Structure 1
Amino acid sequence: MKKVYIIHENSEWTQHLTNRLDEIGVPYEEWHLDKGRLDLSKEPPEGVFYNRMSASSHTRGHRFAPEFTAQVLSWLEGHGRAVLNGTRALQLEVSKVLQYLELNKFGIKTPRTIAAVGKEQILEAATEFMDTPFITKHNRAGKGLGVQLFQTYDGLKSYVDSPMFEEPIDGITLIQEYIQAPESYITRCEFVGGKFVYAVKVDTSEGFQLCPADACHIGDLFCPVGEEKVEKPKFEIIDSFSDPIIQKYEQVLASNQIQVAGIEFIRNAAGDIYTYDINTNTNYNSDAEAKAQKFGMLELAKFLNSQL
């Protein structure tokens, strides 16, 4: 019997999907690829393969899961299997540099960014932002890894020279212009089957811990976008969100064979949109969805069923 094969490395994030697959009666099997074997002499089973590999896998002790997944996806694609969020999606998942280059192809603004390897090169890159605040982040990230706000070059130098400096897993640190938003929130647009599902407003007044998954928790401080602190939901689905940027996002996803993604942007004081993340291992917030009666994992389960 054909089934849906879910490729991942985090059972906590995947359970929300399997619950929905059970709900509508879709047969599935999980492939947890933090370790495993791949026999190149054998053919893959028949079915639909959905990749949910995460760029932050190394933070859960699964250092080489993306690398192994890349080989498995190539094997599946080489045998002509139906793969959703395949090789190209994984390439973008683990590299913000590739994300920005792809977004720029479609005329989508991204914050000015310099990629640097080595502490000296990080500091040299920061000299390009001497007159304005800037942030650092990891190229292969997820969960807001390495995101910090610096007001001055000296502040960055103190950090880079200290034991607190966090080396990116791929060695690449991004130095990026800081987009000052008039209000302390960003917008995350969710897509299933390459089509827009909904947009969610994410409160960033306490920092950029943006993972919508209920299981996600990070204790570190991240880059704030404002000082105001008001009791309000961290995630709130926007009713009837509409903007021309959605069409461009859908074009980017189609061009890169990405069926499922969350894309995040921020607006500056002039109202200009700057896009800074494509997350191909997207999660959804249950509280926000319950309030809006829109359910991303249910839409995803239905889409997987239609592909099967």
Structure 2
Amino acid sequence: MTDLALLYEHPAWFKPLFEALERRGVDYIARRPDGHFDPADFTPPARVVFNRIAMSSFLRSDEHPIFHGVALLDHWRRAGARVLNGPEVLAIDSSKARQLSLIAGLGLAIPATRVVHRIADIEAAAATLAFPLVVKANIGGSGAGIARYDSMEQLRAAIADRFLPTSVDGVLLVQDYVPARNGTITRIETLDRAYLYALDIAGGGAFDLCPADACQIPGAPIPMVASTPDTALREAAEAIARAVGLDVGGIEVMIDDRDGVARFYDINALSNFVAKPLDVLGWDPHDRLVDYLIHILEETR
């Protein structure tokens, strides 16, 4: 049986990981979530399966693999595979509402949020918050499905025209627009539920702050620098990773410029790491990830 299977969807994001595995001589197969699976066939594709399904996959295909992937990963785990970032992690990754509930349940601050599944409930939800606010898709990726509204009149017009974000699961978040201090968010990457590195990403109010190679627009790179969050932020990110069961992933936080409170708002189980890591970090996190994968493979022999 093959040692390692990587379940992935994006055609370009994982080339650095594939290359790192090949440099280390790791036996692996790269598998797309296409075709079909037999729920009565308990033959896993490998001893260890690493989930790399992106939430933004719905942007690339209406027939996205997000929900299919949850079932497939769960099936492979029942078949005896060790699944990293498994079905329960993918389920949290695919629900910002569940993410915020989990974070708040740990006693950490989040943006004030109301969760709805009907357009008819958006105005009443917004009335409990202050403007500006955002309406956000429960399943998003690369900043998709987020719109800002500066007044109730503007929001009512969008509701009347049905000119609102949509989510592939029908769930929307009505959320306080948090002015991030210096227009910067911090993305804390974790590996095996422990701090790996962090980036300060200057978005200037933008919502798409993906730091990886494949997200960069030629001539318009997203400004980002390596950072060292204080101990409280690092420990909070690790607590979130433990609560999720996150083998590898990014946790995003911003400092609310109004009151200085650190507000956590996103858990991303698809960590394809920073573009040009040697320039930004001085080392390549793919090497640490491969170390971790090799450790898991040794555990499962």
How far does residue 281 in structure 1 lie from its aligned partner after superposition?
0.7
Matching residue of 1:72: 72
More RCO (CA 8 Å, sep 6+)? 1
Whether 1:255 and 2:231 are equivalent positions in the alignment is no
Whether 1:178 and 2:167 are equivalent positions in the alignment is no
Matching residue of 1:274: 263
Aligned residues: 295
How do 1:184-195 and structure 2 match up within 5 A? 184-195=183-194
Q: Choose the corresponding residue for 1:236, options 220, 225, 237.
A: 225
Whether 1:286 and 2:275 are equivalent positions in the alignment is yes
- Kindly report the root-mean-square deviation, in angstroms, between the aligned alpha carbons of the 2 structures: 2.2
In the superposition, the TM-score normalised over structure 2's length comes to: 0.90
Corresponding letter in the other structure for 1:198:
Y
Cα offsets for 1:56-85 (capped at 9, x unmatched): 211111534112111111112213321110
For the 8 Å contact 1:237–1:289, the answer to whether it is kept is: no
How far does residue 43 in structure 1 lie from its aligned partner after superposition?
2.1
Q: Which consecutive segments of 4 or more residues in structure 1 shift more than 6 A?
A: none
- Larger mean Cα displacement after TM superposition, 274-283 or 56-65: 56-65
Corresponding letter in the other structure for 2:249:
A
SS, match of residue 186 in structure 2: strand
Corresponding letter in the other structure for 2:20:
R
Q: Tell me how far apart the structure 1 counterparts of residues 243 and 164 of structure 2 sit (CA, whole Å).
A: 37
How far does residue 246 in structure 1 lie from its aligned partner after superposition?
1.8
Matching residue of 1:216: 215
Q: Tell me how far apart the structure 1 counterparts of residues 278 and 93 of structure 2 sit (CA, whole Å).
A: 24
How far does residue 292 in structure 1 lie from its aligned partner after superposition?
2.3
In the superposition, the TM-score normalised over structure 1's length comes to: 0.88
Matching residue of 1:119: 119
Q: Tell me how far apart the structure 2 counterparts of residues 127 and 52 of structure 1 sit (CA, whole Å).
A: 38
Matching residue of 1:304: 293
Structure 1 runs not aligned, ≥5 long: 219-230
Q: Tell me how far apart the structure 2 counterparts of residues 271 and 89 of structure 1 sit (CA, whole Å).
A: 30
Structure 2 runs not aligned, ≥5 long: none
Aligned in 2, Cα 1:297/1:38: closer, same or farther, shift over 3 Å? farther
Matching residue of 2:151: 152
**Identity among equivalent pairs (%):** 26
Aligned in 2, Cα 1:182/1:153: closer, same or farther, shift over 3 Å? same
- Larger mean Cα displacement after TM superposition, 25-34 or 61-70: 61-70
Matching residue of 2:92: 92
How far does residue 148 in structure 1 lie from its aligned partner after superposition?
1.9
